[in-house]
Structure 1
């Protein structure tokens, strides 16, 4: 029965995506940016579904299972940082998208101030392909983990299934298909997580009884982790601010920002933000709650893979037909992000990296298939956890693109050499932070972005021509 309900939901998502072909205009701009005609509601729902990926269903719940109540700071910091970024970045990006008439994130950055910073475009496109490709692989791996637990299939089966479905509707309607299915998937994701949270709390005897049982787990209800970088208020502030930078890092994620670039009108950004943050807050809170409940229902997962918590607790608490709903929710999350990642990589290859810009429909769709296949190969290797792979990709993209976009929005002039230094230094700092295991105390995107910004203010007198310096 769970298999039947799962298949019905998947078929529904596929049909929604395929239906978008009737709105297709058959152009490259329509395939990659929906001709900048997406409504605020669809923009917000699509962006939140893309953000709340398999990382949320699998990675965050696994992290919360191990960490406890202190994981709430990941949620609060992430959402607050994301919101602060949206107040002054998103609308300006949408305006610049229309002004430059570009269809890729790298393209808009390179032409923001007029002209075309060719090396910035190429470097940004390479980063996009490498790290969004790894990010896509993490989504496919998340689907594989869920199917393994629920149906006993090999991990590879779920990854292949997600890849096939995503390729199918992306080929049909491009980003419009992705956005339409994202909207449907966001509703299923919230319903699935809400259902599991309600049933889980009820099974433990209600909110008070649940809280009392959680309190019996040593240190599990501590407000802050025990292993802070420094004791006292300073360590607490660094921990929280670090996760605020993780949320602020959304401005460096091409697959999410392209949703706001596709909005029908820059003046509709406030409406899109209402949909985005309403669903984001509800879903993240539910995911954190389910992660904590999993510790009570599944104490045996300690020492094993905590990223299996969600599908395992669903099988324990729900009847088969609703288990199918949960699995559909996991797959909805993975697909809603995987399709965006695949299209972002495809656009970077066809528009920014190819020796000539590929305009023919068969060329564009062929590249979509190539990107999907490469992401699948990485997923099948199973080299890292979903949580670690997503955080590494997220922080790298944030450190590379976030500082540059911030400076461009502030209307400071940027020489091409300085832009490349900012991107390289930001990424290098984030990688070194992770290499020396400092990311366990402070999210590596924070020092990465700060290093990128610092390099601009320290080097602009040397690398920016005098006539282009701000007064």
Structure 2
């Protein structure tokens, strides 16, 4: 009873915050999708990191770490380092280009970066966004269902419906501003929940010495690198780390994350936004990795069931009911903070990049959002997929499609529309071939070749951009 009560109170607070944002809504497309580019740095940073973390962190990463052990630390190190490298030269220039082009979607800003329209590229990009963003949203909604299953033992489809309904309520009310406001509250809940579980988990095993002793008792659990590397020895280790570094760099190809930085009130505040983002991200990821490893000691037999249930099941093992509700709310916060971002980004791709401009009315903006949420819900309840695998698939494909072109633009290179289309198709094809054709994705993140191949192609086909042709300099 106390679990359900604390869980319900926290979720009600999220929805109330999102609905309150409607008071600032103007109804314009720029306000609905970019909050009129008026968001302060702290909210941008917290919203971006909450969107990035998602149910993937609470469900997917915890499950991956449960099975992998200490070697999962490279996922954290590579991811954050790759993310940081990309942010040093891309985020601010993307924000400037968004203001100069006065566009409301990620694809449109890239299409008009150098003053051209790139209509064919923009249409193809929008289709890819809709497909993979909605699939990604489906994974988030499914993560909410798994959380309820782990705590209450009920049908995971009920949790999926709950996530979809709450996201629908405040997304329709306030657009991206509602998403950002709730993200900030959700990021605090996520951090508190993970900290409480980490501290309680260590205390329940007799302190740090007891924890380390338990880990040593699990064969290979404290090995620094996994056994199934793509190459033996140092070369395989290097590719393993490099793969996760590219996974972090892939953030720049995620429309739902990058749109947060496009909402910043002033590009000169980007350093402050990044400070909020990386401070939170580093601390939270470290806690998540620690909790994932602790869960192996509390739930040694979970591998035969579903390792992605490790966090909610562990919470019931070590916490009183009221705090179990907090953990469950933290998981739901993570899923909702990303799900709303994904459906809004896919909605923008439909109404702004695919449909005729005359259809871009307030009603159509909300209708497209509602349809995207509905499709994500259908995907979430249709099949019991691994959240970790589905997120990585969507993440790598989006990154392979957009990160190479954005990286070229950020270093002041330009390409023709045909070259941009070739880069996009090549990136997506290589990533999908790596996963489904060669089956090497378990040994090396498919986003590495998916980004590297079209990037090299783009370098060969590009030319230096003049200050006159750059939208960001306008």
Superposition TM-score tier, normalisation by shorter sequence: over 0.9
Tell me the residue number matched to 1:449.
Answer: 451
1:250 aligns with 2:281: no
Post-superposition offset of 1:26? 2.1
Change (3 A) 1:274 1:457: closer
Q: Distance in 1 between matches of 2:358 and 2:429?
A: 30
Q: How many Å separate the matches in 1 of 2:375 and 2:112?
A: 29
The alignment's TM-score, normalised by the length of structure 2, stands at: 0.96
- Say whether 1:75 aligns with 2:89: no
SS of structure 2 residue aligned to 1:222: coil
- Is the Cα–Cα contact under 8 Å of residues 413 and 462 in structure 2 kept in the other structure? no
**Contact preservation (8 Å) 2:54, 2:334:** yes
Shift of 1:22: 1.1
Kept in 1, the 8 Å contact 2:141–2:377? The answer is: yes
Residue 357 of structure 1 deviates from its aligned partner by 4.5
Q: State the partner residue of 1:203.
A: 204
Find the aligned partners of 2:392 and 2:36 in 1 and give their Cα distance.
31
* Structure 2 equivalent of residue 315 of structure 1: 316
Change (3 A) 1:180 1:253: same
Cα distance in 2 for partners of 1:342, 1:235 equals 37
RMSD of the alignment, in Å?
1.2
Q: How many residues align?
A: 463
| Distance in 1 between residues matched to 2:358 and 2:352, nearest whole Å | 5
Give the Cα separation in 1 of the matches to 2:27 and 2:425. Answer: 37
Q: Which residue of 2 aligns with 1:426?
A: 427
Deviation of residue 23 (structure 1)? 1.3
Q: Distance in 1 between matches of 2:103 and 2:136?
A: 24
Residue 89 of structure 1 aligns with which residue?
90
Once residues 192 and 49 of structure 1 are traced to their aligned partners in structure 2, the CA distance between those partners, rounded to angstroms, is 13
Q: What is the CA–CA distance in structure 2 between the aligned matches of 1:178 and 1:12, rounded to whole Å?
A: 13
CA positional deviation for 1:459: 4.3
Alpha-carbon displacement from aligned partner over 1:224-261 (angstroms, at most 9, x marks no partner):
11111222221111111110000000000000000000
How far off is 1:358 after superposition? Answer: 2.7
Given that 1:249 and 1:402 are in contact with CA atoms closer than 8 Å, whether structure 2 keeps it comes out as yes
Other-structure match for 1:288: 289
SS at match of 2:218: coil
- Cα offset, 1:458, TM superposition: 3.8
Describe how 1:157-306 pairs up with structure 2 within 5 A: 157-306=158-307
- Any unmatched runs of 5+ in structure 1? none
Q: What CA distance in whole angstroms lies between the structure 2 residues aligned with 1:83 and 1:356?
A: 36
Superimposed CA distance per residue, residues 365-407 of structure 1 (whole angstroms, 9 cap, x where no aligned partner): 1111111101111111125210000000000000000001011
Structure 2 unaligned residues grouped into runs of 5+: 470-474
Structure 2: distance between partners of 1:460 and 1:65 = 44
What does 1:52-131 correspond to in 2, within 5 Å?
52-131=53-132
Structure 2 counterpart of 1:350: 351
| Cα separation, 2, equivalents of 1:409 and 1:356 | 28
For 1:434 and 1:351, the matched residues in 2 are separated by 31
Q: Distance in 2 between matches of 1:17 and 1:239?
A: 40
Indicate the larger mover: 105-114 or 347-356. 347-356
User: In the TM superposition, what are the counterparts of 1:385-404 in structure 2 within 5 Å?
Assistant: 385-404=386-405
CA distance in 2, matches of 1:171, 1:199: 38
Closer, same or farther in 2 for the Cα pair 1:386/1:357, shift >3 Å?
Answer: farther
Aligned equivalents of 2:129, 2:259: Cα separation in 1? 13
Tell me, yes or no, if the aligned pair for 2:89 and 2:411 is still in contact at 8 Å. no
Q: Partners of 2:328 and 2:365 in 1: how far apart?
A: 31
Q: 8 Å contact 2:408–2:459 — kept in the other structure?
A: no
Q: How far 1:441 moved relative to its partner?
A: 1.3
Distance 1:206 1:385 in 2: 32
Instruction: Select the residue among 435, 439, 444 that pairs with 2:441.
Output: 439
CA–CA distance in structure 2, aligned partners of residues 26 and 126 of structure 1: 25
